[in-house]
Amino acid sequence: MAQKEQSNLHLYNSLSRKKELFEPINPPFVGLYVCGPTVYGDPHLGHARAAITFDVVYRYLKYLGYKVRYVRNITDVGHLENEEAEQGEDKIAKKARLEEIEPMEVVQTYTIRYHEGMTALNCIRPSIEPTASGHIIEQIELIEKILDNGLAYEVNGSVYFDLEKYRESNDYGTLSGKVLEDLQSGSRDTEGMDEKKSPHDFALWKKATPEHIMRWRSPWSVGFPGWHLECTTMSTKYLGEKFDIHGGGLDLQFPHHEAEIAQCRGAHGHDPVNYWMHNNMVTIDGAKMSKSAGNFINLEQLFNGEHEKLEKAYDPMVVRFLMLQSHYRSKIDFSNEALAAAEKGYHRLMNSMDLLNKMEPPKNGTDGKIDQEILDACKRCHSSMDDDFNTALALAALFDLSSKVNALHNGQIDKSEISLTAFTTLSKTMNEFVYQVMGLKAAQSSDSGRTDELVQLLIEIRAEAREKKDFATSDKIRDDLLEIGIRLKDDKSGNTTYEIDAS
């Protein structure tokens, strides 16, 4: 696709804390790196939020005509249980020990499950999906650069980033707003404290203890890389020492992304990224999602309804739609009420798409009475996405267009009131934004198929009742279906269709 002219995309840069005009380093090429999952458990709503957020970013950049290289890593080593203190057991190694299998079996199993979950949510696979364990040599080389620049030190086989030395000529904490001195008293790091020059120095390489089964040879010891190192290594390998956008969850701002900036400056002498983007967190019924609170819901449970917090199963597209209803920098609260409302809204929009794509376009020579309303709503789809990927406002504009489609279908708006040009723009905009940009598609769940079969059966029963002049039964079927949001439509030839009514 040729790059669209006069793109006015602005995005919120977490580093500057303001919206900035997006200007790629080397247009039309764009480099996008996103922190991916640590694959030791089933994918959950937090994973889905980040994946959908940056899937939309990827989709819209491509829609604008940019040639995007999208890199998202898989963390399969180095992520310890207490990530801030850099202590405890490797999360994947612990899972392997508990299940009595090899660590790479854990990685393989949960990487597959992650991909299955993201595919169900219609997230496009990244251009490149590198693993930490596949880039040990590159991580060692990066450590050597930082050591050569005097910003790291080795002690007892481990290598630490020297933050005090770094801060002599660099700021640390600009991205997150954290001040190290304020964190000093709250540090709980006890492992390796006698080795570190400062409690806030973070590990670039850790010497493996005898029980640590994930280990590699290095110039300093048999050990494993620090968690922060992998993203710096892989992002710069595949996107260059300076690239356009780095994304991830808000919880990664500190210490992970702050450490990434320090490592890149320490190795290459400059910031790695022009724009930092962070999606906000997910809550369940107003509370932070956690296993101890009993409100931790993974995607499989959400899709099959097998969780005590869920009243029913929800199609993956309903989950995606719910996330699109909020701006990516806003918190999202999942509840049965929110999911039910999203389900109605999703079906209403998709029903309009079905009606639109079956609709005969108007003939030339119409008066175009509602053309301006149509064109204004189409423009708002673009301007909303140009305003920091505001999917919530873009959906509102799509629903304005959806109401016009429904009115045209119902005869509330005569086709003479819309010109062929406006109808073509309406159809093009809705199809591009619903499917291509928002990434929505028809529901694939068995429930959706069963609903259609049941409604068609009831339509047949109602038709038989009408033939027998049993209008009481006919009206009851129509009215009962309407109560659950299914509106029957009888045309002049006696055929009956239905649509989901979420109004």
> Which residues sit in the known binding site?
35, 231, 256, 260, 291
With H, G, I as helix, E, B as strand and everything else as coil, classify residue 386: helix
* Cα–Cα dist 174/188, whole Å: 23
Residue 149 token pair: 């620049």
- Per DSSP, the residues of 470-499 read -HHHHHHHHHHHHHTTEEEEE-TTS-EEEE
Question: In terms of C-beta density within 10 A (0-12 exposed, 13-18 middle, 19 or more buried), how is residue 376 classed?
Answer: exposed
Residue 170 token pair: 């660099």
Chain centroid to CA 30: 18
* Cα–Cα dist 139/394, whole Å: 41
CB neighbours of residue 140 within 10 Å: 20
Residue 335 token pair: 């509840």
* Cα–Cα dist 73/107, whole Å: 13
* Cα–Cα dist 202/22, whole Å: 32
Q: Among all chains, which residue has been given the structure tokens 């959950």? A: 44
**Are 303 and 120 contacting, i.e. CB atoms less than 8 angstroms apart?**
yes
Q: Nearest-5° angle of CA 112, CA 118, CA 121?
A: 145
Cα-Cα-Cα-Cα torsion 440, 298, 295, 48, nearest 10 degrees, comes to -40
Residue 472 token pair: 């009481």
Q: How far is CA 201 from CA 135, 144, 180, 463, in A?
A: 23, 17, 11, 75
Please choose, from the candidates 215, 72, 74, the residue with its C-alpha nearest in 3D space to the C-alpha of residue 131: 74
Q: Which residues are annotated as a binding site for ATP?
A: 291
The torsion angles phi and psi of 244, rounded to 5 degrees, stand at -85, -60
Q: Which residues are annotated as a binding site for Zn(2+)?
A: 35, 231, 256, 260
Of all helices (H) and strands (E), which one includes residue 463?
helix 446-467
Q: Among all chains, which residue has been given the structure tokens 């892989």? A: 234
Q: How far is CA 424 from CA 64, 70, 418, 429, 440, in A?
A: 19, 32, 10, 8, 21
